[in-house]
């Protein structure tokens, strides 16, 4: 669906927790 791709890729900002983590299956 379109909404998820708008936020892809989860942007990394130094000093801020990266938001992409939960999407990755361990």
Partner 1 sequence: QEPLTASMLAAAPPQEQKQMLGERLYPLIHSLHPSMAGKITGMLLEIDNSELLLMLESPESLHSKIEEAVAVLQVHQISEASHKSN
End-to-end CA distance of the chain: 24
17 binding partner 1? (CB under 8 A): yes
CB of 12 to partner 1, least distance (A): 4
Secondary structure of 2-18 in HEC code, one letter for each residue = HHHHHCCCCCCCCCCCC
CB of 7 to partner 1, least distance (A): 10
CB of 17 to partner 1, least distance (A): 7
4 binding partner 1? (CB under 8 A): no
């Amino acid at each position: 669906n379109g909404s998820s791709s708008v936020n892809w890729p989860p942007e990394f900002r130094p000093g801020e927790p990266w938001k992409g983590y939960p999407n990755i299956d361990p």
